[in-house]
A and B are shown apart, each in its own frame.
Chain A
Amino acid sequence: MELTGGSRARLDVSTGTGGSLMVELAGELDLASLPDVAAPLDGLLARRPQPVVLELTDLTFLDSSGVAVLVRIANHFQQVRTRSATEPVRRVIEVLGLAGRFGLDGA
């Protein structure tokens, strides 16, 4: 997936097949790219709590600031499941002790 313009990270929200909320994060999510997702994140966190699926197939890098985004999503929606995390992202989540919190596949 291409990221257009100068943005390095992207957050898209859609409704999945099961009617659950799909949140797709892509690119490199770190302190520098936080502004790229700030607006859609605010919009996302304004929604009522409901089950959410985090789709991280195209998320290639995640630092602690990026993890904070995932944590805020997880805290807001309570029921979170994380799909298709790349290995680096998966390990960051695991190392932080957040695999269970994020409902990481296989955790």
Chain B
Amino acid sequence: MLKPAPRPLSVVVALLLLVTTVALSFLTWQANANSEQSLLRRQLAQVGTLLGNEATVLQVQLADMGLVATATEADPGAFARFADRQLDETGQSLSLWRVADGQAEQLAQQGVPPLLPEDGADSLAGLQPTGELVMLGILPGQPDRLAYALMPAEPNTDLVVYAEAPLPPDRRLTVPEGSPLSALDLAIYLGEDGEPENLLQSTVPIPIRGTTETTTVPFGNTSLTVVGASRTHLTGALSAALPWIVLGVGGVLAVGGGMTLEYVSRRRAVAERLAAENERLYRQQRGIAGTLQHALLPVVPEIRGVEVAARYVAGVDELEVGGDWYDVIARGPGCCVFVVGDVSGRGLPAATTMAALRFAVRAYVAEGHDIEEVLSRLRGLLDIGTDHQFATVLLGELDATVGRLRLVSAGHFAPVLVTDGRATMLDCPVAPPVGVSAARPAPATVVPVTTAATLVAFTDGAVERRGETIDTGLERLRAAAADAGSRPLEGMLDDLLGELVTEGNKDDTVLLGLRWS
């Protein structure tokens, strides 16, 4: 079986949910990115503070040496001893210079020999006695060095403390594991332009990738530019994953929602199929009820001179058998007793009452009782006070040989008689139904029928329709009987059923036809 295409509604709902999810994910991502950026800025500010402290440390270091040199009147020995304690790192160079008239003269030197700036030691002569750390640039070498100097803030001084600090190989900065900065990719540049040649140190090869943040901090007479990016998510894995979680969960929900809708609507389709199936079963069961009813109803006898046919149609509203019945009891050539009845209510109570009445009629007739007596005796079998049921019964006695019809009715319709294409509702006094106490026995009505005739007895299903008086139904039956009167008896009853029993008819319908000539 081919998998059916999803329903449009399911797709629309799934898409709407997906769009909402994407929007939510975006917002979450943005919120997270914003907090990432703001966190990164704070961390870079911390880096800047650390670097600023470093500048102060360097400045104090050089200033101290300047003070020592000034105090010792530039005694090389004193400088060397003092500087030696400051050389906490191999590859550093510290030296003391005297500047005058644009010239610089080295007085003392400790550590590795200085590389000196590009324009020579004389560039030191340009320094002012401010006591401020002066950055002199990056000197190429093995390794490259950062050059800086300080001229003590002493009046009339001509001393300059000069220092070179090695930059790490590849200018790679190693941040200890566990440091708050370990989550950052950092690059520190000398100056404010952040040009690659001014790179002092970086944790990764430059340029820094990702979403970067830049900060500058004063460093001596210049500044340092710090470019940073978070290597991992500063806001935490969950926060970073949140947009994806939202997207994922939302996506699942969207697809799930769509699928649920799809499922539900498919279930509805299934339910509708089931309903159709149930209806089929219902019809079948209705058929079973009908079958049961038919089993309780007799096969009409063969009577010489009298043609007999009967129809029973179950109403559609109930699954239970109804209480409608008919019977024809032969009494010799051209003679019979017929009965059409309807027990009120439905189901087993109605069916059993119907069966009891049907066999009672047979028994009373077999005992030779007249139909008046049969009806009287039937009244003793049913009491609405105890049985909550009553039965309408039409009893008829036909003697076709003499053209005489006798009728008694207990709450039942008189039959319709068709002669010569004319149909007549026979008039017959109606006593209360069987089960309802009757003041006096109903006398039989005698109808002489000397010509060929068709008699149709029926139950209320043939004439009762909601929203109209019963007379309308009776007239409809009469007219239909007149129209179909010339048809063969079986066909006539089928015509009448087609005419009278509408789709959705609630009540059972019995038609009993007798035809004689």
Contacts and interface: CB of A to CB of B under 8 A. Distances in A.
Interface string B429-456: 1111101110000000000000000000
Interface string A72-107: 101110000000000110011011111001000000
A15 interface: no
Contacts of A94: 430
Interface stretch (B276-284, B328-336, B408-416, B494-502): B408-416
Nearest to A31: B346
B388 A68 contact: yes
Interface string B353-397: 000000000000000000000000000000011001110100000
13 contacts: A63-B507, A64-B390, A67-B433, A68-B390, A72-B384, A75-B436, A87-B469, A91-B469, A95-B413, A96-B392, A97-B409, A97-B431, A98-B433
B154 interface: no
Contact of B411 (A28, A65, A74, A97): A97
B175 to A, nearest CB: 78
A94 to B, nearest CB: 8
A77 B222 CA distance: 118
A44 interface: no
A94 B474 CA distance: 13
B81 interface: no
Contacts of A95: 411, 413, 430, 470
Contacts of A76: 385
Contacts of A74: 436
Contacts of B342: 64
B437 A96 contact: no
A103 B311 CA distance: 36
Nearest to A66: B344
Interface string A48-68: 000000000000010111011
B132 interface: no
Interface stretch (B40-48, B102-110, B180-188, B460-468): B460-468
A31 to B, nearest CB: 6
Interface residues of A, number: 25
B470 A101 contact: no
Nearest to A97: B430
Given A64-B342, A91-B471, A97-B409, A71 B390 contact: yes
Interface in B309-323: 317-318
Given A64-B344, A92-B470, A95-B470, 12 more contacts: A61-B467, A71-B390, A71-B435, A75-B385, A88-B467, A91-B469, A95-B411, A97-B431, A97-B433, A98-B411, A101-B432, A101-B436
B469 A88 contact: yes
Nearest to A60: B467
Contacts of B437: 75
Contact of A98 (B345, B385, B409, B436): B436
Nearest to B392: A96
B432 A91 contact: no
B432 A97 contact: yes
A79 to B, nearest CB: 14
Interface in A4-42: 28, 30-32
Q: Which of B342, B345, B435, B436 is the most central at the interface, judged by chain A CB atoms within 10 Å of its CB?
A: B436
A28 to B, nearest CB: 8
A45 to B, nearest CB: 9
Contacts of A88: 467-470
Contacts of A28: 466
Nearest to B342: A64
Contact of A72 (B318, B385, B392, B413): B385
Contacts of A91: 469-471
A65 B345 contact: yes
